[in-house]
A and B are shown apart, each in its own frame.
Chain A
């Protein structure tokens, strides 16, 4: 708690929270939304394809989306730290934040598993989804939806900053 109050007093925290150039906090939170759009959006596209939507998309080509997905994740990791630093007491004493981070971790794990077990499986060359692939896709969808939902809810149940 002491540590969290200490973070709150640092220059970075004060800058993000109160910069008289009103753009600091809005910029960080916009980046977080944009990163989410890319990260969750593309993850959903991959899951949808595995579940049979747009069958013209070669499964083997989906791997090419991963660098952009990881970029979205990176933007959100950095902006996420920025959001936490701006209001560390509220963010880090909110149990929903821990749940969200766990869900994000699991969702990222599902992406990694999809890449290894589905997109790199030899049967994928004939555009066939290996066994367990569809289950993984459903799980990934569910995890990203859950992470986004809990992320949104942290704003309503705990944080003191504007929504």
Chain B
């Protein structure tokens, strides 16, 4: 924790922190982008997950997987804007358990994605023909993905309410 505290202290003194706190519109713009990035991520990844769980069978899984880079774009937008929020008030976030739950869920979602690709499950699912059922492992990954990403959304939304934020 001492290292995290030190990091927070250091960040609070950087130009990034000033950019967030010193300018009136940085936060609102960043937050708007954060919501849009979230919609992009959940729209693309969530749709792929829904398909793997058996909905929208007319949509070929392989084609939906081509949407994944846009989901990554959404994630990157949120990583950057998220870092801006953090830099604006690092002390507040590192002492907020809700923030850490959100980070945990993001990490778990990342592990889920990693497993999906590294285990070869992504390739297997890519080759599914129309109407072919998805393997159980893929359904587990898809259900976990939906749970984790909506969980991230929930923890994020709860920051001002359950944690010590703001």
CB of A29 within 8 Å of the partner chain: yes
Flag if A41 contacts B162 (CB, 8 Å).
no
Flag if A56 contacts B63 (CB, 8 Å).
yes
9-residue interface stretch from B11-19, B108-116, B151-159: B151-159
Flag if A162 contacts B44 (CB, 8 Å).
no
Q: Which parts of A132-163 form the interface with B (CB within 8 Å)?
A: 145, 148-149, 152-153, 156, 162-163
B66 interface neighbour in A29, A54, A156, Cβ under 8 Å: A54
Q: Which parts of A38-56 form the interface with B (CB within 8 Å)?
A: 38, 40-45, 48, 53-56
Q: How many angstroms between the C-alpha atoms of A22 and B161 in the bound complex?
A: 8
Flag if B66 contacts A149 (CB, 8 Å).
no
CB of B131 within 8 Å of the partner chain: no
Known contacts A30-B157, A56-B66, A162-B166, A38 near B46 by CB under 8 Å? yes
In the complex, chain A residues whose CB is within 8 Å of the CB of B40: 41, 44
In the complex, chain A residues whose CB is within 8 Å of the CB of B160: 162-163
Chain B contact-residue range equals 35 or more
CB of B67 within 8 Å of the partner chain: yes
In the complex, chain B residues whose CB is within 8 Å of the CB of A156: 28
Q: How many angstroms between the C-alpha atoms of A162 and B55 in the bound complex?
A: 37
Chain A contact-residue range equals 35 or more
Q: How many A-B residue pairs have CB under 8 A?
A: 104
Q: Which parts of A11-28 form the interface with B (CB within 8 Å)?
A: 22, 25-26
In the complex, chain B residues whose CB is within 8 Å of the CB of A68: 50, 55
Known contacts A48-B70, A57-B64, A38 near B56 by CB under 8 Å? no
CB of B32 within 8 Å of the partner chain: yes
Contact with A along B33-58 (1 / 0, CB 8 A): 00110111111101100100001101
CB of B91 within 8 Å of the partner chain: no
Flag if B46 contacts A37 (CB, 8 Å).
yes
Flag if A37 contacts B153 (CB, 8 Å).
yes
Q: Which parts of A93-131 form the interface with B (CB within 8 Å)?
A: none
Q: How many angstroms between the C-alpha atoms of A154 and B120 in the bound complex?
A: 45
Flag if A42 contacts B43 (CB, 8 Å).
yes
Flag if B70 contacts A148 (CB, 8 Å).
no
A41 interface neighbour in B42, B58, B157, Cβ under 8 Å: B42
CB of B82 within 8 Å of the partner chain: no
A7 to chain B, nearest CB (A): 23
Flag if A45 contacts B157 (CB, 8 Å).
no
Shortest Cβ distance from A36 into B: residue: B39
Flag if B157 contacts A33 (CB, 8 Å).
yes
CB of A61 within 8 Å of the partner chain: yes
CB of A34 within 8 Å of the partner chain: yes
